[in-house]
Amino acid sequence: MAHRLAGWALAIALIAAAAPPPGRAAEPPTAVAETPASAQARRLLDAIVTRDDPGFLAVLHEIAPRSPMSDDQWLALRSNLRRLEFHNVLSATPTTAELSVFDAGREAWARVVVTVEPAAPYAIATFGMRGGRRPADVPAPPKLEPAALAQAITARLDAEAAADRFSGAVLVAKDGKPIFTAVRGLADRETGAPITADTQFRYGSMGKMLTAVAALRLAQDGKLDLDAPIGRYLKGYPNPDAAAKIAANHLLTHTGGTGDIFGPIFDANRLTLREPADYVALYGPRPLEFAPGSRMAYSNYGYILLGRLVEAASGLPFDAYVQRHIYGPARMTSSGMLPETANLPHRATGYTTRGGPLRSAAAFNPYRGTPAGGGYSTSGDLLRFANALMSGRLLDAKHLKLLTEGGITGPDGTFFRYDFGGVTGEGQRFLGHGGAAPGMSGVLRIFPDSGYALVVLANRDPPSADGLATFIGDRLPAGR
């Protein structure tokens, strides 16, 4: 997520490609002399964490008087940063400072970067956050065997639920079989219905996993050339330039320059955007944001476009293709993308604090799930997906390797991986994807080197699932 406003740069990317290389701690911290920039950065961080809303805004207006962001925008941003813990100043000049912080909500290390104006009162000019590494003076999380792991997860779950920060389901598996399951909270606060193992949670961008697998399955069957321009399959695409330059490989790596969907246009058309073709008709005429393959920018529209390719190459509606080639073989009987109006007896209501006190997130939901995400599933179904994928029931070995290791190389030599996994801050390789939206937060991580997999689903705002998933993943044994 990034905003650029009148020269300000705001970049919240705690788990992002911009993070330093994972798998090892940073250099031991050394004392850094205080500067105007570091002093202002620490004042802002202290206000974010310790002040009530009026107190935070009072400090903000004093130290960042020319911020183009509204108070509501700052408060929305702050709601995601309330659990930052200051560790040390990494570097400081009179006008720039970089702080090491721990985000207890995401269980992630990050760097706060602030610049200030060169003269007193040194007003903050830019504020940003980037991925970070665990400092060398902070011990690594302990690796835990099943009994101790269950105790640690239970204690963490109890604390998060007691603080009303988590409501959802957790599943940890070893070699395809659950070794820990737990639920906390309510699926519906009005009726008091509890969350159970059968609860169907909206999963946001976790649905991109299904779209990627669908595209690779069509490539496996010889029906989709991942390097061919999309115009080969999408005749009459509303932007001929994009049709000639974008390929499926660009969409799989978020390098297509296709832009996003969310914003005022989406809000005005939310309930009429019902099929992938509806999105293409609305967003397809836009010019490309950059040359395909030249850089990466996360694109929900790109994955909807990938879903249209699935439809065109297969001759089936996207939902029908997923049912036939993913849900069916994986035996996922509680997952789908049916409209929000469909009566699903086990579907959880999502709850958000966006825009005020905790309330239903229904006003933010799309009409139905899309190839970019927004469908629903259960913890058990997502484990079944993981098992089917890793056992070869969804893709053959060649295309599973392509899905999990493939990508494209940009003009400058940068390798852009398919959006299907990564490396934890502690250096463990994982496969899968997360999802985040108002009232929904979810993570699937498959650790192929150790045989573990974990699922966390929540009907609360992000990062409620992310922090738990990272907490668990960092404590899983690294080998078999």
Domain assignment present for residue 152? The answer is no
Q: Tell me, what's the pLDDT at 65?
A: 94
Q: Quick one: CA dihedral 246, 248, 249, 250, positive or negative?
A: positive
Task: Enumerate residues 6+ apart whose C-beta is below 8 A from 126.
Answer: 7, 8, 9, 10, 113, 114, 115
Nearest partner of 303 among 422, 416, 414, 209, judged by Cα: 209
Round to whole Å and give the CA distance between 353 and 359.
Answer: 6
Same domain, 456 and 318: yes
Mean pLDDT value across residues 75-85: 87
Instruction: Give residue 23's pLDDT band: very low, low, confident or very high (50, 70, 90).
Output: very low
Domain assignment present for residue 174? The answer is no
Among 14-18, 188-192, 417-421, whose mean pLDDT is lowest?
Answer: 14-18
Same domain, 114 and 219: no
Alpha carbon 90 to chain centroid distance?
A: 27
Q: Is the pLDDT of residue 89 over 90?
A: yes
Domain span including residue 413: 202-473
Round to whole Å and give the CA distance between 139 and 475.
Answer: 12
Domain assignment present for residue 188? The answer is no
Which of helix, strand or coil describes residue 263? coil
Identify the domain boundary among 98, 114, 131: 131
Same domain, 126 and 216: no
User: Domain containing 348 — which CATH number?
Assistant: 3.40.710.10
Same domain, 96 and 7: yes
On whether the CB atoms of residues 432 and 445 are closer than 8 A, the answer is yes
Helix (H) or strand (E) holding 44: helix 36-50
The rounded percent of the chain whose pLDDT value lies above 90 is: 82
Rounded to 10 deg, the angle between the 208-220 and 379-390 helix axes is 30
Instruction: Give residue 263's pLDDT band: very low, low, confident or very high (50, 70, 90).
Output: confident
Round to whole Å and give the CA distance between 288 and 382.
Answer: 34
Alpha carbon 219 to chain centroid distance?
A: 26
Which of helix, strand or coil describes residue 65? coil
Identify the domain boundary among 96, 131, 166: 131
Same domain, 209 and 330: yes
Mean pLDDT value across residues 217-236: 97
- The size of the chain, in residues, is 480
Instruction: Give residue 357's pLDDT band: very low, low, confident or very high (50, 70, 90).
Output: confident
User: Domain containing 125 — which CATH number?
Assistant: 3.10.450.50
Q: Quick one: CA dihedral 424, 429, 435, 440, positive or negative?
A: negative
Domain assignment present for residue 177? The answer is no
Q: What is the CA radius of gyration of the chain?
A: 22
Nearest partner of 459 among 263, 184, 261, 270, judged by Cα: 184
What residues form DSSP beta bridges with 99? 89, 112
Q: Is the pLDDT of residue 15 over 80?
A: no
Q: Is the pLDDT of residue 27 over 60?
A: no
Tens-place pLDDT, residues 359-374: 999 988 899 999 999 9
Number of domains the chain is built from: 2
The rounded percent of the chain whose pLDDT value lies above 70 is: 94
Tens-place pLDDT, residues 97-153: 999 999 998 899 999 999 999 999 999 999 999 888 899 999 999 999 999 999 999
Same domain, 365 and 240: yes
Domain assignment present for residue 305? The answer is yes
Identify the domain boundary among 111, 131, 151: 131
Same domain, 231 and 311: yes
Mean pLDDT value across residues 20-40: 69
Which of helix, strand or coil describes residue 260? coil
Domain assignment present for residue 143? The answer is no
Q: Is the pLDDT of residue 8 over 70?
A: no
What residues form DSSP beta bridges with 247? 229
Mean pLDDT value across residues 302-330: 98
Instruction: Give 247's DSSP letter.
Output: B
Round to whole Å and give the CA distance between 326 and 388.
Answer: 9
151 or 28, which is more confident? 151
Mean pLDDT value across residues 411-433: 92
Mean pLDDT value across residues 220-230: 98
On average, the pLDDT of the chain sits at 91
Domain assignment present for residue 230? The answer is yes
Q: Tell me, what's the pLDDT at 161?
A: 95
Same domain, 311 and 437: yes
Round to whole Å and give the CA distance between 203 and 2.
Answer: 22
Same domain, 422 and 275: yes
Domain assignment present for residue 377? The answer is yes
CA distances from 29 to 18, 25, 88, 95, 399 (A): 21, 11, 7, 21, 44
